[in-house]
Amino acid sequence: MMASAAELTKSVDVATFAQFKTALEDATVTDIQLKNSLTLTASIITTKGAIKNIHGNGNLIDLKGYKVLLADGASGLVENATITSASGNNYSLFYSENTSTKLVYRDINQSGGYLPRMAGELRLEGNITHSTTGGNNSFEGRNLTIASGANVQLTNPTSGAYSSIDMNATYGPSTLLIEKGGLSEYRYSCYHLVWNMVIPRE
């Protein structure tokens, strides 16, 4: 007998970093509901193949220079949150150098660091804002999809700053996919929009 969707989903409420870390490392937990803003005090690695959906509920996640690494084959969602990262932090809430990982960012306001650096796939939905400084891109990775109707604002006021989007082909051919009707608003303040391999398509 196949398990129902409810049986395959386990949601937990978290209010502290310790609870957040435990939930991310627990292979049985799929959905994490933030009840308070929190600050990372260490980096975290999810379990292989795990599904991790973080529902921010409008709270703040302060990375403080740490990261959450998506393990091989893992996938997830981060939505409705404000994220901050320490100056010079090259990582992000989710980060992966494995091409089998998939992540959705939805309704996120982030400052500092990068958006998720993904060797797999990142999909942007809803309202996405990201501001960073210095030698940071907003996105560096292999496959980026901007969903239909997304409002995306990427800014870096540093003179001579890197491009907002860097399609990095280190892990194989790179694709920038803008869905039909996507990018209802897109703003950037760098000298180049995209460099390296970029293949726009519907």
2-58 pLDDT, tens digit each: 344 445 789 999 999 999 999 999 999 999 999 999 999 999 999 888 899 999 999
Task: Tell me: pLDDT of 188 over 60.
Answer: no
Instruction: Return the domain boundaries, the chain.
Output: 31-196
3-state SS class at 7: helix
pLDDT digits (tens, 9 = 90+) for 78-115: 999 999 987 556 667 888 888 899 999 999 999 888 88
Prediction pTM value: 0.84
What pLDDT shows up at residue 172? 74
Q: How many CA atoms lie within 13 A of 14 on its CB side?
A: 28
